[in-house]
Structure 1
Amino acid sequence: MASFIIRRLIASIFVLLAATFLMYILVSFAGDPLEDLKQSSAPNKAELIESRTKLLNLDVAPPLRYFLWLGALFRGDFGVSIQNQPVNALLANAITSTLTLVTTATVVAILLGLTVGIVSALRQYSGFDYGVTLIAFLFFSLPIFWVAVLLKQYGAIQLNNWLGDPVIAPPVIIGASIVSGLVWLSLLGGRWKKRLIVFGVSAVATAAVLTYLSLTQWFADPGIGIFVYIPLVIGIAFAVTAVSVSLRHRKALYASLIVAVIGIALYQPMTNYILNNMTLGLFLILAVLAIVVSGVIGWFMGSPDRWPVVRTTAIVGFFTAGLIALNKYMSYWEAYSNSSRVRGRPIATVGSSTPGLGGNFWVQGIDLFTHLLLPTIAIILISFASYTRYSRASLLEVMNQDYIRTARAKGLTQRTVVVRHAFRNALIPITTIIAFDVGAIIGGAVVTETVFGWVGMGRLFVTGLSASDPNPVMAFFVVTGTLAVLFNLIADLVYAGLDPRIKVG
């Protein structure tokens, strides 16, 4: 393993050197960094041209200038832009902005796409499968700039208007109830009598929830509350256990329920006292502590087969603590929405933060969420479509293999066949797609950043290229090229973990 990683890293260094050399030459001949000064009518035009020439070493031939740039790069210096700004500072701001924007979107798109794709494959040729296929192709064909503009119009402007008086109209309640009933009907399947019962129950439940939210104007001052929190965490304990190890594993189920009960007991102290004076460091410590304590409970209760129980309780602990944090965020929503800087229009359309907002940790978190919401949805909609189709096709191919038939012939349950045998092998081709996509997305969602006013990696690259500014372009290329190589190496290592037949050596 170590020798394989070392060989790949050495080969990657030579690949990056060759790629950066070619890129530098292409950028150098693509435009003239002095063009704006040559067209200027400034009285000191000659001095400005001479100053920029010395600043960017433009009097040196591009092949030799590359080695000057490379020597500075080995010292950790990406040089300066044509405006004499340190590229290191521009790159740091761009990376922070892009990672903030795309990390959540990428993780959610992967998890949601894999989940929906797998369910679609297991319910092949059902109404749910046809519906997901239609939606996936629709989203895949939509241009990202058009989606972004629609989100700004209906996800921000219209939604902000509605939040001023958040009453859900009866036609909307009826329509949402019918859609919910159809989704659950197509998911669960079975005979028509059972499916009609499922449709009726889900439609009535959806209508009741939406009516309650409308009458109480919940969206104006949202919150979870202890009476909603209790059934939620107990349901999470059952659901996570069912997917992770099945409900027949009593030790895992009891351990998960213990974690849920601890969360219920800590709900009021955490909400009213412990979470009041919160900082980012303390928040991260509490999050890690919740996962570790939950895992320890699983360790003590899971003997002799501990690790599946530890995994299950850790996931339950994460969601249990996450709901408490979510409720705390919700408690500050009204104060944030009615602040002098936001003025009742909380869903942001431009930028990454509200200037001069102030406020505590929770208010700043809500502000970040409202600015991330629309661009994140835009990226998710496009990425979700491809992940759904890839995961569906991969799982369908695996489910037709001989070893799956053998596992079923041995009498294994459907959950065991899918989770332990099929799903793991279906992830192998998807890992390749994810490795390429993550490197590309971190390179910058150029259109999304432009529409929503985020200054990230994509904007840095486009601005540098249009201005014939070589150093920001090369900084972008080095970062994205390194990430592409790194994620491809990680993908190779994941292959070996997913399939024992693959030997890394």
Structure 2
Amino acid sequence: MRVLLLIGRRVAATVPVLVAVALIAFVLLRISSGDPVAQLAGDNASPEVIAAIRARLGLDQPLIVQFLQWGWHVVQGDLGTSIVSGTPVLRLIGQHTAPTIAVSLLTMLVSVVIGVPLGVYAAWRRGGIVDQLTSVMTTAGFAVPTFAVGYVWIYVLSMQAGLFPVQGYAPLSAGLGRFLWHLTLPVLTLSFVYVALIARVSRTSLLEVMSDDYVRTARAKGLPERVVIFRHALRNAAVPIVSIIGIGVALLIGGVVITESIFNLPGLGRLTVDSVMARDYPVIQAVIIVFGGVYVLINLLIDLSYAAFDPRISLS
């Protein structure tokens, strides 16, 4: 019951955040340069035709009226209709969700599997060659832009080695091997920054707890170093690591938009870029709400997981 109350309070607290995000995105789209109605009507359209289209789409009303009407439809589960294609936005999002979910989940899996052990080993062998290489890699991961990493992988692994395709996407129904073959370069591109982030935090967090009394006590009992690190130290160092995984979702969302454009993946990131270029307001607003909701949900799950790693943290 206490967990349900906590979830209810956290969900209620996220509503104003999502409303603020939606309002900011709504206003910025309306005041930015470019007119989707003029693009939709064509270069030779008369002012009367443009005005008629604007009235039909409801874009001639005051901003506050447009926002309230759009918000009311969103609450009812209607994200609107694409100005450009005339397709319901929910259908468009459904058609582009699978590639984004696949890239994101694989990226998180690869990053955690590589980043956490790398950070732990670097902390265990502090000052060694692995620790030094990890520091160099994490610095490069933060400094190099995502698109640059993607082009490096394309040049090395695709153009030179010929191992992976440059562009395209194969659904899981086409076979697991073909599915992973097309996603390898996008996942490597996104994982480069994510691994660096997780490894850096894992190393720092573990070093902080290695000097605590309970770690010295465990060593004094004659426990093997592996048991001391993984059973005692790592569990107490897990909260910052789990936290940074949740925070890194924001980096992942931003990276997906760029990566899907580079590798021509038909996901939500590519849909966002195409909609921005076409000034398709309903699609852009809906994708922002979806990304914001996913970020809030993952951080809620991260908060709930704290008690599993640290018994001193209660769900109250």
Q: Tell me how far apart the structure 1 counterparts of residues 134 and 218 of structure 2 sit (CA, whole Å).
A: 28
2:274 matches 1:463: yes
- What is the aligned partner in structure 1 of residue 135 from structure 2? 133
CA distance in 1, matches of 2:213, 2:17: 40
* Aligned: 1:408 with 2:225: no
In the alignment, does 2:159 pair up with 1:348?
Answer: no
Residue of structure 2 in register with 1:96 after alignment: 98
2:80 paired with 1:69: no
| C-alpha distance in structure 1 between counterparts of 2:268 and 2:255, whole Å | 5
The alignment status of 1:23 with 2:25, answered yes or no, reads yes
1:327-338 matches, cutoff 5 A: none
Cα separation, 2, equivalents of 1:30 and 1:390: 38
Contact 1:114/1:388, CA 8 A, preserved across alignment: yes
For structure 1, the 5+ residue unaligned runs are 161-345, 355-359
Match in the other structure for 2:305: 494
Tell me what 1:40 maps to: 43
Percent sequence identity over aligned pairs: 33
| 483-492 vs 463-472, which moves further | 463-472
State the distance in 2 between where 1:478 and 1:410 align.
Answer: 53
Query: Does structure 1 retain, via aligned residues, the 8 Å contact 2:37–2:50?
Result: no
- RMSD of the alignment, in Å? 2.3
Cα distance between partner residues in 2 of 1:21 and 1:137: 36
**Distance in 1 of aligned mates of 2:296 and 2:141:** 29
| Native 8 Å contact 2:190 2:255 kept in 1 | no
- Are positions 1:386 and 2:197 aligned together? yes
CA distance in 2, matches of 1:447, 1:15: 25
- 1:443 Cα shift? 5.7
1:485 equivalent in structure 2 = 296
- Which is higher, the Rg of structure 1 or of structure 2? 1
Are the equivalent residues in 2 in contact too, given 1:52–1:82 (CA < 8 A)?
no
Matches within 5 A, 1:95-134: 95-134=97-136
The residue type paired with residue 82 of structure 1 is I
Following TM superposition, the consecutive aligned residue runs of length 4 or more in structure 1 with deviations greater than 3 angstroms are: 44-49
Tell me the amino acid that sits aligned with residue 79 of structure 1. Answer: G
Q: TM-score, normalised by structure 1?
A: 0.58
Report if aligned partners of 1:57, 1:65 keep a CA contact under 8 Å in 2: yes
Q: Residue 423 of structure 1: CA displacement?
A: 0.5
CA distance in 2 between counterparts of 1:156 and 1:41 reads: 44
2:230 is aligned with 1:419: yes
Using the TM superposition, give the Cα deviation of residue 380 of structure 1 relative to its aligned residue in structure 2, in angstroms. 1.5
SS of equivalent residue, structure 1 residue 85: coil
Of 133, 141, 154, which aligns to 1:152?
154
Deviations 1:393-446 (A, max 9, x none): 111111111221122223333222211211011111111111122254246512
Matches within 5 A, 1:115-264: 115-160=117-162
Distance 1:20 1:139, change over 3 A: closer
Given residue 98 of structure 1, which amino acid in structure 2 is its aligned partner? T
Summarize deviations over 1:189-216 as a string: whole Å, max 9, x none: xxxxxxxxxxxxxxxxxxxxxxxxxxxx
Q: How far apart are 1:353 and its partner, in Å?
A: 3.0
- Alpha-carbon distance between aligned partners in 2 of 1:36 and 1:454, rounded to the nearest angstrom: 25
The one-letter code matched in structure 2 to 1:138 is: A
CA positional deviation for 1:128: 2.1
- Trace 1:279-318 onto structure 2 (pairs within 5 A): none
Kindly provide the CA deviation profile for residues 320-349 of structure 1, in whole angstroms up to 9, marking residues without a partner as x: xxxxxxxxxxxxxxxxxxxxxxxxxx7211
What is the CA-CA distance between 1:155 and the residue it aligns to?
A: 0.6
Which consecutive unaligned segments of at least 5 residues does structure 2 have?
A: none
Secondary structure class of the residue paired with 1:445: helix
What letter matches 2:143 in structure 1? S
Shift of 1:48: 5.5
